[in-house]
Amino acid sequence: MSDSNRTRKIVITAVMAAVSVVLGATRLGFIPWFSGASLTIMHVPVIIGAVLEGPVVGMIIGMIFGIFSLIQAAVAPTGPVDVFFVNPLISVLPRIVIGLTAWLVYRAFRGKMLTLSTVLAGIAGSLTNTFLVLGALALAGALPWNLIIAIVLANGLAEAGAAAVISAAVVVSWKTVGSRGKKSNLEDPDGDE
């Protein structure tokens, strides 16, 4: 890996991790939704990082997002379920897997069309977050399974849609701007796109 590729990966990791933390700390990562619930988009930087720079970058951003979630739950809990987020199996591990899942789906479909592959990666990454975090909460006894199903239907699907749209908009714009008029510095992490 060249020094410029390494530097780009470090910069994108830092920027996307910072965006994730800012979204959580300022509550901008929560979009008001029906009945007082919120849709979270805090996992979107993980998806974008994985699509732009590969699974390792996505997993590192996910780990930072998860650690921030754990610290926030320990220091400034906002609800009764937050006590369960001090467990890294609930707060950190599922967030690491987001980057891997998003990258795998992007990689599987990227030859088709950039927008389609990024939309599918956004959906897969978001649903990974939803299923793993809520599943871990159910296994820990924090929430009953029937409530988990309701949350997935009410919030999880809408979050996946939001993640798909935002991820595609950012990635397509990023790659389009980077490739205009010259060879892109934002080449595919595997060098085959």
The answer to whether 164 and 115 have CB atoms below 8 angstroms apart is no
Task: Identify any residues that bridge with 38 across adjacent strands, giving them in sequence order.
Answer: 32
Number of domains in the chain: 1
Tell me the helices (H) and strands (E) count for the chain, helix number first.
8, 2
Give the per-residue pLDDT at 67: 93
Over 60: is that where the pLDDT of 188 sits? no
Domain that holds residue 42: 3-176
Q: What pTM does this model have?
A: 0.86
**Amino acid letter, 66:** G
Task: Count the Cβ atoms, other than its own, within 10 Å of residue 80.
Answer: 8
Kindly report, residue by residue over 139-180, the tens digit of the pLDDT: 999 899 999 999 899 889 999 999 999 999 999 998 888 666
- CATH of residue 67's domain is 1.10.1760.20
More confident site: 30 or 87: 87
pLDDT greater at residue 29 or residue 127: 127
Please say whether the beta carbons of 126 and 43 come within 8 A: yes
Domain assignment of residue 158, yes or no: yes
Model pLDDT for residues 17-65, shown as the tens digit of each residue: 899 889 888 878 877 776 556 778 889 999 999 999 999 999 999 999 9
Q: Does residue 40 form part of some domain?
A: yes
CA neighbor of 95 nearest in space, from 50, 39, 54: 50
192 part of a folded domain? no
Mean pLDDT for the chain overall: 87
pLDDT greater than 80 at residue 122: yes
Does residue 72 belong to any structural domain of this protein? yes
- Indicate the residue type of 34: F
- DSSP H or E run through 38: strand 38-40
**Within a domain: 169:** yes
Task: For the chain, give the longest Cα–Cα distance.
Answer: 55
